[in-house]
Amino acid sequence: MWLMTSAAAQSSGFADVELCNGKNRTSPAAQIKGCTALIDGGADNPKVLAIAHTNRGNAHTAQGEYEQAVKDYDEAIKLNPNFAKPLNNRGVAYQKMGDYDRAIQDFNAAINIDPNYANAFANRAETYQKKGDYPNALKDFDEAIQQGPTLKPLWNERCWTHAMVGELQAAMADCNEAIRLEPDVAAVFDSRGLTYLKLGQWASAITDYDTALRLDPKLPSALYGRGFARLKMGDRAGGDADIAAAEAVERNIAGKFARYGLH
């Protein structure tokens, strides 16, 4: 959330400012309405308008309206070229659209403006993950965690990435920290379960996948991973049942695990 200036509040109405800021978890539709009122109200401060366009872009992104979000971020960047936030957020929109190269360009630009922008490093790392460029993803997760160690999901993301490159002890250390920070999140147990699979520790993998599935009963990666471990332990019925349940949720889950080196 970005706070508008008192000048904007006086000229465009305090209620619109609060809506545009997303105060009290304003719905995206209401946020768009408030930001539009500010933008159409003719505020003459470019920095204030840049914030309004950025907030409206964020609301469009929340609704999955990525092309409209990009238009707002474009306008924010024109109004205030040294504003790192819309560059980062436009990168997120491009990433959601599958345009990873343009996303990385935007994250690069945001980091050039603000070298301590932990979220931009994290978003660039996630984009490198999606491209299968795990070494660069790890470098960015290292930087993001150094700058924002309280950004809890980063520990799980780095755990998973370490597992992908075969750095399993480093993966385990990160997963343990992720679980300490977020003991009620299924994804962190899912990632440690994957690490145990790669270590060949089938029983430990099953234990973690059991926990992940208690938290998220239809998580396909946990269902498939548990099924994989059960088959390795000779439990044909249980393994086949888990794998069938996983494939009912995500048809290509077996191919994904094969790319992980597990088949």
* Predicted local distance difference test score (pLDDT) of residue 43: 66
Is the residue at 250 inside a domain?
yes
Q: What percent of the chain has pLDDT over 90?
A: 79
> 234-249 pLDDT, tens per residue?
999 999 999 999 999 9
Average pLDDT over residues 70-77: 96
**The pLDDT value given to residue 255:** 95
Q: Chain-wide mean pLDDT for the chain?
A: 92
Query: Residue 245 falls within a domain, yes or no?
Result: yes
pLDDT given at position 21 = 83
Rounded to an integer, what distance in angstroms lies between the CA atom of residue 192 and that of residue 212? 10
pLDDT tens track for 10-41: 444 567 677 888 776 778 898 888 888 888 88
225-229, Cβ contacts within 8 angstroms, sequence gap of 24 or more: 225/190, 225/193, 225/194, 225/197, 225/257, 226/193, 228/197, 228/257, 228/262, 229/193, 229/196, 229/197, 229/202, 229/203, 229/205
Domain count, the chain: 1
Does residue 61 form part of some domain?
Answer: no
81 in a structural domain? no
Asked if 157 and 125 count as a contact pair (C-beta separation under 8 A), the reply is yes
Cβ atoms within 10 A of the Cβ of 166, count?
A: 11
Q: Is the pLDDT of residue 8 over 90?
A: no
For the segment 192-204, the average pLDDT, to the nearest whole number, is 98
Would you say the C-alpha torsion 127, 157, 76, 63 has a positive or negative sign? positive
Has residue 185 been placed in a domain?
yes
Between residues 176 and 10, the one the model is more confident about: 176
Q: What is the pLDDT of residues 100-146, one digit of tens each?
A: 999 999 999 999 999 999 999 999 999 999 999 999 999 999 999 99
pLDDT at 65 over 70: yes
Rounded alpha-carbon distances, angstroms, from residue 118 to 8, 32, 113, 184: 29, 27, 12, 24
- The residue among 50, 261, 96, 41 whose CA lies nearest residue 163 is 261
Domain that holds residue 179: 155-263
Q: Which pLDDT belongs to residue 224? A: 98
Instruction: Check pLDDT > 60 for residue 6.
Output: no
User: How confident is the model at residue 19, as a pLDDT?
Assistant: 81
134: nearest Cα among 170, 86, 84: 170
Alpha-carbon dihedral sign for residues 209, 141, 132, 85:
positive
Amino acid at 250: E
Q: Element (H or E) spanning 214, and its range?
A: helix 202-215
> Does a structural domain hold residue 48?
no
Domain-located, residue 14? no
Average confidence (pLDDT) over 196-220:
98
Report the alpha-carbon distance of residue 161 to residue 180 in Å, rounded: 18
CATH number of the domain residue 184 falls in: 1.25.40.10
Average pLDDT over residues 37-52: 84
pLDDT in the model for residue 263: 85
Contacting residues for 130 by C-beta, under 8 A, at least 6 apart:
95, 100
Per cent of the chain over pLDDT 70 is: 93
What pLDDT does 14 receive?
62
Q: Does residue 85 lie within any of the structural domains?
A: no
What pLDDT score does 42 carry? 65
